[in-house]
Amino acid sequence: MRSLTNYLLLFTLHLTSQFYTAHATPPDLVSILKPGAKVYRAVTGGELAYVDRYVVGSRPPPYLPIAGDFAKYGAFYTFATVQEALEWGMHVSGFYYKKPSDMIKNPEYIHKFHIIELEYDPGVLNPTTKL
């Protein structure tokens, strides 16, 4: 009898969940990439050695082909605001860790990053300033 009670309870919960389930699909991301839009990049870690390659008015250097969080073969990550790029740079360079050396093995990368402002052009992505 206990088994039947358990099945009825599970069946009732299942039916209830069918009616009261909220869809948790997030809205689509809106692209900020429009001609002339400013985007921001945090140069961190192994890319710090190449920060001098960012020259105002020139194409940015190619990204390092290292797998990351969002791309298997590397990518040129940019952000919509300076604040977003700053938060990412601080996170990746260890500002939010009590002991950054636990997460970042190369001491030269701890608490070091650059924010680069770029102007988006569908054909060319040009740096406009170094912050």
56 belongs to a structural domain: yes
59 belongs to a structural domain: yes
124 belongs to a structural domain: yes
The structural domain count of the chain equals 1
21 belongs to a structural domain: no
Who has greater pLDDT, 71 or 54? 54
Confidence bin at 22 (pLDDT 50/70/90): low
Which residues form the domain of 85? 37-130
What's this model's pTM, rounded to 2 decimal places? 0.66
Contact 119, 128 (CB under 8 A): yes
77 belongs to a structural domain: yes
9 belongs to a structural domain: no
Q: Which residue has the tokens 């869809």?
A: 23
- Say how many CA atoms lie within 13 Å of 1 toward its Cβ: 0
7 belongs to a structural domain: no
Percentage of residues of the chain with pLDDT beyond 90: 21
CA 115/CA 44 separation, integer angstroms: 9
Note the residue count of the chain.
Answer: 131
- Report pLDDT digits (tens) over 88-124: 999 888 888 888 887 777 888 888 999 999 988 877 6
3-class SS at 40? strand
